[in-house]
């Protein structure tokens, strides 16, 4: 028998050598940009493209050259979510431990799909899940899974609610057969995140099945309207409550909502993607009373837990219903419906099979800084928001539109002698000028169909002087406009 030619890779094509670069030195400028202004610099797509080599990469080039190119592009056209004056969208501030932790995730490169794929990783993830389930007040039998973000977590939580409603037949027969005549609906606050609407569309319910419950004067779901809707609707799959709405930071009355859900035997899903981080603070925890009665809870680590992107935790009170919809097995991946710890499969609780080690950065952060210290930083964010609200109340040219329930507030510059249309124009101009000046950033939004100045504080680097500086700039620009 003739032996076939033995393949050999040319030394120049070998990819196993370590990267010829000092990683710490390479990322130091990126870490150091936290306090640099401007937070964002206006650009066109053509401006940015001019700084990035978009030619097809047939051959390689030095890593140092690529790092320099990317650092330069981000320096020219930044969007510094980590800046203490960034009060815009609910964006991650990142912790000092994150670069190392995320580098460890990349170096380990383990797939957290099953225990046997990553025994240590699975144990760490399940440990973090247990910690946060206890923090939320869920029972010992609860289970959870880390996903890429709150949108996917909301999708999986609502899917599990549907599985509970229709039982074992749902996975095989689907909504087309089981719900053809009974018009199932999902109830949520009118202020719920749009990912809930996307979820019902993806799950085949259609957005017409989403019934929005009016909010009260504090922008929370009205329990009176919810109670009436639960009486009127014959087939409610679940109620989605929010612990920290995106626009105003409102916490729905979770305890009352939970009581109504129990009365009507309806699944309660709590979207705490933004607000969940407040549970780390003993002082803030009472504001979430009732969350421990939820059937599923979503919390994003990359929001108010101060983590860098990306990781969201989905918790289930009873994991049985998630397994009803997500359970899978195959010839190449055998799993058990009632697994031992060694047969744990994370893909029995959410759609993803391949998953990066998302729990490691938060495990390291919790062990490094401690829950109490992280909680005091979350509380400080709320105290800064309340301090800003009081400064606004004391100024005759300012109007507090939304008082902070957590660390989001909305206000308007309202000088005497101007009608609403002019005040609208002035506030829109203030927000644009603040952003152009570069030291602060607020996101655009509307409350009661009027433009407002929205301030969101979820950065562990933000201090009282930053909110004072923002307000000084608002007043300075406002006066110049009138």
pLDDT tens per residue across span 198-256: 999 999 999 999 999 999 999 999 999 999 999 999 899 999 999 999 999 999 999 99
Q: Residue 338 pLDDT more than 80?
A: no
* Integer CA distances (angstroms), 265 to 136, 161, 184, 288, 359, in order: 21, 11, 14, 21, 33
Q: Across residues 34-59, what is the average pLDDT?
A: 91
Please give the average per-residue pLDDT across 265-283, as a whole number: 97
Residues spanned by CATH 3.40.640.10 within the chain? Answer: 103-369
Q: What is the DSSP letter of 146?
A: E
> What is the pLDDT at residue 303?
95
Specify which residues 269 forms β-bridges with.
240, 296
The C-alpha atoms of residue 188 and residue 249 are separated, in whole angstroms, by: 16
First-to-final CA distance of the chain? 93
pLDDT tens by residue, 439-479 = 999 988 999 999 999 999 999 999 999 999 999 999 999 99
Please provide the DSSP assignment of 227-252 as one string: HHHHHH-S-EEEEEEEBS-TTT--B-
Q: What is the CATH number of domain 372-481?
A: 3.90.1150.170
β-strand pairing of 296-300 with 398-402: unpaired
Q: What's residue 198's pLDDT?
A: 97
Give percent of the chain above pLDDT 70: 100
Cβ partners under 8 Å of residue 353, min gap 6:
113, 347
User: Can you give the pLDDT at residue 358?
Assistant: 96
Task: Name the class of domain 103-369.
Answer: alpha beta
Residue 314's pLDDT band (cuts 50, 70, 90)? very high
């Amino acid at each position: 028998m003739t032996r076939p030619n033995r393949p050999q890779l040319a030394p120049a094509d070998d990819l196993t050598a370590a990267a010829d670069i000092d990683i710490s030195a390479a990322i130091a400028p990126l870490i150091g940009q936290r306090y640099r202004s401007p937070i964002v610099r206006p650009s066109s797509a053509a401006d940015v493209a001019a700084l990035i080599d978009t030619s097809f990469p047939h051959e390689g080039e030095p890593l140092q050259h690529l790092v320099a190119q990317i650092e330069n592009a981000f320096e020219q056209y930044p969007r510094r979510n980590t800046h203490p004056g960034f009060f815009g969208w609910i964006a991650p501030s990142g912790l000092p431990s994150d670069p190392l932790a995320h580098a460890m995730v990349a170096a380990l490169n383990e797939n957290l799909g099953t225990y046997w794929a990553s025994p240590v990783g699975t144990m760490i993830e399940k440990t973090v899940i247990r910690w946060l389930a206890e923090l939320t007040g869920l029972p010992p039998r609860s289970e959870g899974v880390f996903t890429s973000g709150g949108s996917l977590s909301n999708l999986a939580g609502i899917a599990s609610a549907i599985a509970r409603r229709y039982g074992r037949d749902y996975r095989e027969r689907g909504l087309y057969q089981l719900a053809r005549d009974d018009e199932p609906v999902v109830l949520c606050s009118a202020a719920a995140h749009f990912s809930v609407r996307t979820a019902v569309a993806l799950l085949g319910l259609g957005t017409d099945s989403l019934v929005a419950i009016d909010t009260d004067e504090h922008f929370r779901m009205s329990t009176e309207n919810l109670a009436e809707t639960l009486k009127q609707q014959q087939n409610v799959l679940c109620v989605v409550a929010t612990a920290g709405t995106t626009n105003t930071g409102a916490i729905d009355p979770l305890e009352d909502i939970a009581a109504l859900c129990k009365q009507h035997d309806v699944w309660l899903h709590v979207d705490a993607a933004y607000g969940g981080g407040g549970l780390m603070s003993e002082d803030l925890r009472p504001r979430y009373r009732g969350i421990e009665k939820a059937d599923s809870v979503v919390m994003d680590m990359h929001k108010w837990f101060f983590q860098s992107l990306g990781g969201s935790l989905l918790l289930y009170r009873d994991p049985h219903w998630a397994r009803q919809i997500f359970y899978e097995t195959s010839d190449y991946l055998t799993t058990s419906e009632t697994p031992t710890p060694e047969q744990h499969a994370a893909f029995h609780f959410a759609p993803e099979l391949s998953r990066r080690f998302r729990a490691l950065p938060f495990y390291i952060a919790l062990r490094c800084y401690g829950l109490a210290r992280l909680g005091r930083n979350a509380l400080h964010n709320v105290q800064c928001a309340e301090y800003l609200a009081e400064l606004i109340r004391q100024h005759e040219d300012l109007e507090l539109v939304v008082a902070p329930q957590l660390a989001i507030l909305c206000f308007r510059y309202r000088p005497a002698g101007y009608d609403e249309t002019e005040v609208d124009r002035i506030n829109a101009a203030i927000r644009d000028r603040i952003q152009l000046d570069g030291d602060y950033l607020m996101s655009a939004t509307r409350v009661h169909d009027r433009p407002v100045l929205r301030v969101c504080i979820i950065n562990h680097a933000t201090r009282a002087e930053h909110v004072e500086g923002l307000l000084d700039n608002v007043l300075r620009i406002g006066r110049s406009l009138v």
